[in-house]
Chains A and B, each alone.
Chain A
Amino acid sequence: MSSTYLWTIIVLASLMNFFLRAVFVEAYGRIKFPRIVEKGLYYVPAAVLSAIIAPAVLTPGGEWLPLQQNPQLWAALMASLVAWYYKSIFRTMLVGLLVFWGLQWLGMG
Protein backbone atom coordinates (compact mmCIF):
# COMPACT_ATOMS: atom_id res chain seq x y z
CA MET A 1 0.00 0.00 0.00
CA SER A 2 1.69 3.20 -1.14
CA SER A 3 1.59 6.29 0.98
CA THR A 4 0.17 8.39 -1.89
CA TYR A 5 -2.69 5.91 -2.29
CA LEU A 6 -3.39 5.94 1.47
CA TRP A 7 -3.29 9.72 1.94
CA THR A 8 -5.26 10.47 -1.23
CA ILE A 9 -8.02 8.22 0.05
CA ILE A 10 -7.91 9.72 3.54
CA VAL A 11 -8.13 13.30 2.26
CA LEU A 12 -10.78 12.75 -0.42
CA ALA A 13 -12.99 10.45 1.64
CA SER A 14 -12.81 12.84 4.61
CA LEU A 15 -13.87 15.78 2.44
CA MET A 16 -16.67 13.69 1.00
CA ASN A 17 -17.99 12.71 4.42
CA PHE A 18 -17.89 16.31 5.61
CA PHE A 19 -19.67 17.47 2.47
CA LEU A 20 -22.44 14.88 2.91
CA ARG A 21 -22.96 15.91 6.53
CA ALA A 22 -23.03 19.63 5.90
CA VAL A 23 -24.54 20.05 2.45
CA PHE A 24 -28.26 20.30 3.14
CA VAL A 25 -27.87 22.34 6.30
CA GLU A 26 -25.70 24.89 4.49
CA ALA A 27 -27.87 24.91 1.36
CA TYR A 28 -31.09 25.21 3.34
CA GLY A 29 -33.39 27.74 1.72
CA ARG A 30 -31.49 27.57 -1.55
CA ILE A 31 -32.45 23.98 -2.33
CA LYS A 32 -36.19 23.45 -2.16
CA PHE A 33 -37.23 19.81 -1.88
CA PRO A 34 -40.51 18.61 -3.35
CA ARG A 35 -43.16 18.37 -0.65
CA ILE A 36 -43.10 14.56 -0.67
CA VAL A 37 -39.36 14.46 0.02
CA GLU A 38 -39.75 16.95 2.85
CA LYS A 39 -42.45 14.77 4.38
CA GLY A 40 -40.35 11.67 3.82
CA LEU A 41 -37.52 13.12 5.94
CA TYR A 42 -39.74 12.50 8.94
CA TYR A 43 -39.04 8.76 8.54
CA VAL A 44 -35.25 9.08 8.24
CA PRO A 45 -34.37 8.06 11.82
CA ALA A 46 -36.61 4.98 11.92
CA ALA A 47 -35.73 3.82 8.40
CA VAL A 48 -31.97 4.34 8.61
CA LEU A 49 -31.57 2.88 12.10
CA SER A 50 -33.61 -0.17 11.13
CA ALA A 51 -31.57 -0.62 7.95
CA ILE A 52 -28.36 -0.58 10.01
CA ILE A 53 -29.64 -2.90 12.74
CA ALA A 54 -31.26 -5.60 10.58
CA PRO A 55 -28.19 -7.09 8.87
CA ALA A 56 -26.02 -6.72 11.99
CA VAL A 57 -28.46 -8.78 14.00
CA LEU A 58 -29.91 -11.20 11.42
CA THR A 59 -26.70 -11.99 9.55
CA PRO A 60 -23.80 -11.26 11.89
CA GLY A 61 -20.57 -11.81 10.01
CA GLY A 62 -22.48 -11.68 6.73
CA GLU A 63 -24.18 -15.09 6.96
CA TRP A 64 -27.65 -16.25 7.96
CA LEU A 65 -27.25 -18.39 11.07
CA PRO A 66 -29.59 -21.02 12.52
CA LEU A 67 -31.61 -19.53 15.37
CA GLN A 68 -29.83 -21.65 17.97
CA GLN A 69 -26.44 -20.38 16.79
CA ASN A 70 -27.18 -16.68 16.71
CA PRO A 71 -26.82 -15.11 20.18
CA GLN A 72 -26.82 -11.67 18.54
CA LEU A 73 -30.42 -12.15 17.48
CA TRP A 74 -31.70 -13.20 20.89
CA ALA A 75 -29.75 -10.49 22.68
CA ALA A 76 -31.12 -7.93 20.21
CA LEU A 77 -34.69 -9.15 20.76
CA MET A 78 -34.38 -8.92 24.54
CA ALA A 79 -32.70 -5.53 24.26
CA SER A 80 -35.51 -4.36 21.97
CA LEU A 81 -38.15 -5.36 24.50
CA VAL A 82 -36.31 -3.49 27.24
CA ALA A 83 -35.76 -0.43 25.01
CA TRP A 84 -39.41 -0.36 24.03
CA TYR A 85 -40.72 -0.81 27.56
CA TYR A 86 -38.31 1.29 29.61
CA LYS A 87 -37.04 3.70 26.95
CA SER A 88 -33.76 3.59 28.83
CA ILE A 89 -30.49 3.45 26.95
CA PHE A 90 -28.55 2.25 29.97
CA ARG A 91 -30.91 -0.68 30.63
CA THR A 92 -31.03 -1.58 26.94
CA MET A 93 -27.24 -1.79 26.70
CA LEU A 94 -27.00 -3.72 29.97
CA VAL A 95 -29.60 -6.34 29.04
CA GLY A 96 -28.24 -6.71 25.50
CA LEU A 97 -24.70 -7.30 26.74
CA LEU A 98 -25.74 -9.66 29.55
CA VAL A 99 -27.97 -11.79 27.33
CA PHE A 100 -25.29 -11.95 24.64
CA TRP A 101 -22.53 -12.95 27.04
CA GLY A 102 -24.86 -15.35 28.86
CA LEU A 103 -25.77 -17.16 25.66
CA GLN A 104 -22.15 -17.29 24.55
CA TRP A 105 -21.20 -18.66 27.94
CA LEU A 106 -23.87 -21.33 27.52
CA GLY A 107 -22.19 -22.30 24.28
CA MET A 108 -24.37 -20.56 21.70
CA GLY A 109 -22.68 -19.06 18.65
Chain B
Amino acid sequence: MTKQFNNPRHAFWSGVRTIMAMAPGIVPFGAIIGVTARDMDMSLLATLAMSMGYYAGAAQIASLQLMADGAVLLVVLLTTLLIGLRFGLYSAAIAPYLQGVPRIQRLPLLYALTDQSFNLSIVNYRANMAPELAYSYFVGTSIAVWVIWLFAVLLGATLGEAIPNTWSLEFFIPLTFISILLPILRGKDVVGAALVAAIVTMLGQGLPYNLGLMLGACGGIAAGLLIDHYAGVEDE
Protein backbone atom coordinates (compact mmCIF):
# COMPACT_ATOMS: atom_id res chain seq x y z
CA MET B 1 0.00 0.00 0.00
CA THR B 2 2.87 2.32 -0.70
CA LYS B 3 1.65 5.73 -1.65
CA GLN B 4 2.78 7.97 -4.49
CA PHE B 5 3.84 11.48 -3.58
CA ASN B 6 4.72 14.35 -5.89
CA ASN B 7 6.78 16.32 -3.40
CA PRO B 8 7.68 16.51 0.31
CA ARG B 9 4.80 18.84 1.12
CA HIS B 10 2.35 16.41 -0.43
CA ALA B 11 3.93 13.55 1.55
CA PHE B 12 3.76 15.53 4.80
CA TRP B 13 0.06 16.30 4.44
CA SER B 14 -0.70 12.76 3.40
CA GLY B 15 0.86 11.64 6.69
CA VAL B 16 -1.26 14.15 8.60
CA ARG B 17 -4.43 13.01 6.83
CA THR B 18 -3.69 9.35 7.51
CA ILE B 19 -3.42 10.06 11.23
CA MET B 20 -6.59 12.17 11.13
CA ALA B 21 -8.42 9.09 9.88
CA MET B 22 -7.12 7.25 12.97
CA ALA B 23 -8.16 10.03 15.36
CA PRO B 24 -11.33 8.16 16.46
CA GLY B 25 -8.96 5.51 17.82
CA ILE B 26 -6.35 7.82 19.32
CA VAL B 27 -8.55 10.46 20.99
CA PRO B 28 -10.51 8.14 23.31
CA PHE B 29 -7.30 6.48 24.50
CA GLY B 30 -5.68 9.81 25.33
CA ALA B 31 -8.89 11.03 26.96
CA ILE B 32 -9.05 7.94 29.20
CA ILE B 33 -5.54 8.73 30.40
CA GLY B 34 -6.56 12.30 31.13
CA VAL B 35 -9.60 11.11 33.09
CA THR B 36 -7.55 8.53 35.02
CA ALA B 37 -4.96 11.13 36.01
CA ARG B 38 -7.67 13.55 37.07
CA ASP B 39 -9.36 10.87 39.18
CA MET B 40 -6.03 10.39 40.94
CA ASP B 41 -5.92 14.13 41.70
CA MET B 42 -2.86 14.67 39.56
CA SER B 43 -2.29 18.30 38.62
CA LEU B 44 -2.77 19.34 35.02
CA LEU B 45 0.94 20.18 34.90
CA ALA B 46 1.97 16.71 36.03
CA THR B 47 -0.53 15.08 33.66
CA LEU B 48 0.80 17.04 30.69
CA ALA B 49 4.44 16.53 31.67
CA MET B 50 3.86 12.81 32.01
CA SER B 51 2.00 12.59 28.70
CA MET B 52 4.66 14.56 26.86
CA GLY B 53 7.54 12.78 28.56
CA TYR B 54 6.33 9.19 28.37
CA TYR B 55 4.53 9.89 25.12
CA ALA B 56 3.38 6.27 25.28
CA GLY B 57 -0.21 5.51 26.19
CA ALA B 58 0.04 1.89 27.29
CA ALA B 59 3.03 2.56 29.53
CA GLN B 60 1.40 5.64 31.00
CA ILE B 61 -1.87 3.95 31.88
CA ALA B 62 0.04 1.04 33.43
CA SER B 63 2.15 3.48 35.47
CA LEU B 64 -0.92 5.39 36.63
CA GLN B 65 -2.58 2.19 37.80
CA LEU B 66 0.55 1.05 39.62
CA MET B 67 0.99 4.46 41.22
CA ALA B 68 -2.64 4.47 42.34
CA ASP B 69 -1.99 1.07 43.95
CA GLY B 70 1.08 2.52 45.67
CA ALA B 71 3.60 0.31 43.88
CA VAL B 72 7.27 0.90 44.66
CA LEU B 73 9.19 3.12 42.28
CA LEU B 74 11.27 0.31 40.83
CA VAL B 75 8.22 -1.73 39.85
CA VAL B 76 6.70 1.25 38.04
CA LEU B 77 9.94 1.89 36.16
CA LEU B 78 10.49 -1.76 35.31
CA THR B 79 6.96 -2.05 33.92
CA THR B 80 7.46 1.09 31.84
CA LEU B 81 10.75 -0.27 30.56
CA LEU B 82 9.27 -3.59 29.52
CA ILE B 83 6.25 -2.03 27.80
CA GLY B 84 8.67 0.36 26.06
CA LEU B 85 11.02 -2.33 24.77
CA ARG B 86 9.13 -2.48 21.49
CA PHE B 87 10.43 1.04 20.84
CA GLY B 88 13.90 -0.50 20.83
CA LEU B 89 12.79 -2.84 18.08
CA TYR B 90 11.35 0.10 16.16
CA SER B 91 14.55 2.06 16.67
CA ALA B 92 16.68 -0.78 15.33
CA ALA B 93 14.37 -1.37 12.36
CA ILE B 94 14.21 2.28 11.25
CA ALA B 95 17.88 3.07 12.00
CA PRO B 96 19.34 2.54 8.51
CA TYR B 97 16.82 4.93 6.96
CA LEU B 98 17.41 7.89 9.26
CA GLN B 99 21.19 8.17 8.95
CA GLY B 100 20.94 10.91 6.32
CA VAL B 101 18.81 13.10 8.59
CA PRO B 102 20.73 15.70 10.66
CA ARG B 103 20.71 14.88 14.37
CA ILE B 104 18.92 18.11 15.27
CA GLN B 105 15.89 16.96 13.24
CA ARG B 106 16.33 13.30 14.00
CA LEU B 107 16.18 13.46 17.80
CA PRO B 108 12.80 15.23 18.00
CA LEU B 109 11.46 12.79 15.44
CA LEU B 110 12.70 9.85 17.52
CA TYR B 111 11.24 11.34 20.70
CA ALA B 112 7.89 11.36 18.90
CA LEU B 113 8.18 7.80 17.57
CA THR B 114 4.88 5.95 18.07
CA ASP B 115 3.35 2.64 17.06
CA GLN B 116 1.36 4.47 14.41
CA SER B 117 4.04 6.71 12.93
CA PHE B 118 6.71 3.99 12.87
CA ASN B 119 4.57 1.23 11.41
CA LEU B 120 3.08 3.50 8.75
CA SER B 121 6.40 5.03 7.75
CA ILE B 122 8.70 2.00 7.63
CA VAL B 123 6.61 0.63 4.74
CA ASN B 124 7.61 3.59 2.56
CA TYR B 125 11.30 3.30 3.39
CA ARG B 126 11.30 -0.40 2.66
CA ALA B 127 9.55 0.19 -0.65
CA ASN B 128 12.52 2.39 -1.61
CA MET B 129 10.57 5.61 -1.65
CA ALA B 130 12.79 8.67 -2.18
CA PRO B 131 14.21 9.43 1.30
CA GLU B 132 13.00 13.03 1.42
CA LEU B 133 9.44 11.93 0.64
CA ALA B 134 9.44 9.07 3.14
CA TYR B 135 10.90 11.43 5.73
CA SER B 136 8.26 14.09 5.13
CA TYR B 137 5.49 11.52 5.46
CA PHE B 138 7.08 10.29 8.70
CA VAL B 139 7.25 13.83 10.08
CA GLY B 140 3.63 14.44 9.06
CA THR B 141 2.37 11.37 10.89
CA SER B 142 4.54 12.12 13.93
CA ILE B 143 3.41 15.72 14.37
CA ALA B 144 -0.23 14.76 13.83
CA VAL B 145 -0.12 12.00 16.48
CA TRP B 146 1.58 14.36 18.93
CA VAL B 147 -0.98 17.13 18.54
CA ILE B 148 -3.99 14.78 18.64
CA TRP B 149 -2.61 12.84 21.59
CA LEU B 150 -1.94 15.82 23.86
CA PHE B 151 -5.22 17.42 22.86
CA ALA B 152 -7.00 14.20 23.85
CA VAL B 153 -5.23 13.96 27.22
CA LEU B 154 -6.13 17.58 27.95
CA LEU B 155 -9.71 16.92 26.93
CA GLY B 156 -9.96 13.99 29.35
CA ALA B 157 -8.19 15.85 32.14
CA THR B 158 -10.50 18.85 31.91
CA LEU B 159 -13.83 17.28 30.98
CA GLY B 160 -13.24 14.30 33.26
CA GLU B 161 -16.38 12.37 34.03
CA ALA B 162 -18.22 13.82 31.05
CA ILE B 163 -16.64 10.88 29.21
CA PRO B 164 -18.37 7.77 30.52
CA ASN B 165 -16.33 4.63 31.09
CA THR B 166 -19.03 2.39 29.71
CA TRP B 167 -18.40 3.42 26.11
CA SER B 168 -15.59 0.84 25.88
CA LEU B 169 -13.63 3.50 24.07
CA GLU B 170 -10.35 1.69 24.66
CA PHE B 171 -11.34 -0.71 21.92
CA PHE B 172 -10.85 1.89 19.24
CA ILE B 173 -7.07 2.03 19.53
CA PRO B 174 -6.55 -1.57 18.24
CA LEU B 175 -8.58 -0.58 15.18
CA THR B 176 -5.79 1.79 14.20
CA PHE B 177 -3.31 -1.10 14.42
CA ILE B 178 -5.58 -3.40 12.40
CA SER B 179 -5.72 -0.77 9.67
CA ILE B 180 -1.91 -0.80 9.48
CA LEU B 181 -1.28 -4.52 9.98
CA LEU B 182 -3.62 -6.13 7.48
CA PRO B 183 -2.30 -4.32 4.40
CA ILE B 184 1.29 -5.38 5.19
CA LEU B 185 0.44 -9.08 5.60
CA ARG B 186 2.04 -10.42 2.44
CA GLY B 187 4.07 -13.61 2.18
CA LYS B 188 3.93 -16.77 4.29
CA ASP B 189 6.73 -15.54 6.52
CA VAL B 190 5.05 -12.25 7.44
CA VAL B 191 1.66 -13.90 7.99
CA GLY B 192 3.34 -16.58 10.10
CA ALA B 193 5.15 -13.92 12.13
CA ALA B 194 1.85 -12.19 12.89
CA LEU B 195 0.01 -15.41 13.78
CA VAL B 196 2.72 -16.75 16.07
CA ALA B 197 3.10 -13.32 17.71
CA ALA B 198 -0.62 -13.34 18.51
CA ILE B 199 -0.56 -16.90 19.89
CA VAL B 200 2.54 -16.43 22.03
CA THR B 201 1.19 -13.13 23.39
CA MET B 202 -2.04 -14.83 24.43
CA LEU B 203 -0.14 -17.69 26.08
CA GLY B 204 2.03 -15.20 27.94
CA GLN B 205 -0.84 -13.04 29.08
CA GLY B 206 -0.63 -14.01 32.73
CA LEU B 207 3.02 -13.00 32.96
CA PRO B 208 3.95 -10.00 35.09
CA TYR B 209 5.23 -6.66 33.76
CA ASN B 210 3.46 -7.08 30.41
CA LEU B 211 6.16 -9.54 29.36
CA GLY B 212 3.65 -11.25 27.08
CA LEU B 213 3.89 -8.49 24.47
CA MET B 214 7.66 -8.72 24.05
CA LEU B 215 7.64 -12.52 24.16
CA GLY B 216 4.93 -12.52 21.51
CA ALA B 217 6.83 -10.07 19.33
CA CYS B 218 10.06 -12.08 19.59
CA GLY B 219 8.21 -15.34 18.98
CA GLY B 220 6.65 -13.82 15.88
CA ILE B 221 10.00 -12.60 14.60
CA ALA B 222 11.54 -16.05 15.16
CA ALA B 223 8.63 -17.67 13.31
CA GLY B 224 9.09 -15.30 10.37
CA LEU B 225 12.78 -16.14 10.17
CA LEU B 226 12.12 -19.88 10.38
CA ILE B 227 9.41 -19.83 7.71
CA ASP B 228 11.61 -17.72 5.46
CA HIS B 229 14.51 -20.12 5.98
CA TYR B 230 12.60 -23.34 5.31
CA ALA B 231 9.86 -22.29 2.87
CA GLY B 232 11.76 -19.29 1.64
CA VAL B 233 13.36 -18.85 -1.66
CA GLU B 234 10.47 -19.42 -4.04
CA ASP B 235 7.99 -16.99 -2.57
CA GLU B 236 8.34 -13.27 -3.14
The residues of A with any CB-CB pair to B shorter than 8 Å are: 1, 5-14, 16-18, 20-26, 28-29, 33, 36-37, 39-60, 71-72, 75-76, 79-80, 83-84, 87-90, 92-93, 96-97, 100, 104, 109
Contact = CB atoms under 8 A, between A and B. Distances in A.
Given A17-B80, A40-B221, A44-B217, A54 B175 contact: no
Contacts, number: 264
A58 B193 CA distance: 18
B197 A24 contact: no
Interface of B: 1, 18, 21-22, 24-25, 40, 42, 46, 49-50, 52-56, 59, 63, 67-68, 70, 73, 76-77, 80-81, 84-96, 98-99, 103, 106-107, 110-111, 113, 115, 118-119, 122-123, 168, 170-185, 189-191, 193-202, 205, 212-214, 216-225, 228
Nearest to A77: B178
Contacts of A56: 170-171, 173-174
8 contacts: A36-B225, A41-B221, A46-B190, A47-B217, A50-B220, A57-B174, A71-B168, A97-B175
B194 A49 contact: yes
A13 B76 contact: yes
Given A24-B92, A93-B21, A47 B224 contact: yes
A83 B198 contact: no
Contacts of B195: 50
A44 to B, nearest CB: 5
B93 A41 contact: yes
Contacts of A25: 91, 94-95, 98-99, 106, 110
Given A20-B87, A104-B168, A93 B220 contact: no
A46 to B, nearest CB: 4
A50 B197 contact: yes
Contacts of B177: 49, 52-53
Given A5-B73, A25-B94, A10 B50 contact: yes
Contacts of A90: 21
A79 B80 CA distance: 30
Contacts of B176: 89, 93
B90 A93 contact: no
Contact of B111 (A22, A51, A88): A22
A18 B111 contact: yes
A1 B67 contact: yes
Contacts of B93: 41-42, 44-45
Contacts of B18: 89
A51 B58 CA distance: 13
Given A1-B67, A53-B178, A46 B110 contact: no
